[in-house]
Structure 1
């Protein structure tokens, strides 16, 4: 079974939430344009000055996403 990988981009500052929301739009557009599957793409608000955008993908597709989109980090999704 293929593991799910969560690719993460961190945004900080007063506009972090809005920037993260906008980034998610581009993550979804990339997946559709490239014909790649993904499970979920969304934001997570840590606090008012720190928010992250993420996309959860199959491990087999992770390298394509990583090389094209340069996430700040990744982790095995739960």
Structure 2
């Protein structure tokens, strides 16, 4: 079975939420342009000054996403 991998980008500062929302748009554009499947994209607001944008992908595609998009970190998704 193919595992799901969550690739994460961290944004800090007063504009973190807006930057994270905008980053999700680019993640989806990249996936569609390259015709790569993804499970979901979203943001997570930790507080007013720290937000994360993420995309959940198949493990077999993770390296393509990682090398092209340079996430700050990744983790196995539930």
TM-score of Structure 1 vs Structure 2, range by shorter chain: over 0.9
CA distance in 2, matches of 1:64, 1:35: 12
SS class of match (2:62)? helix
Residue in 2 that maps onto 1:49: 49
CA distance in 2, matches of 1:30, 1:58: 15
5+ unaligned residues in a row in structure 2: which ranges? none
Q: TM-score, normalised by structure 2?
A: 1.00
CA distance in 2, matches of 1:73, 1:19: 17
Residue in 1 that maps onto 2:76: 76
Structure 1 residues 1-78: aligned runs within 5 Å: 1-78=1-78
Aligned residues: 78
Q: TM-score, normalised by structure 1?
A: 1.00
5+ unaligned residues in a row in structure 1: which ranges? none
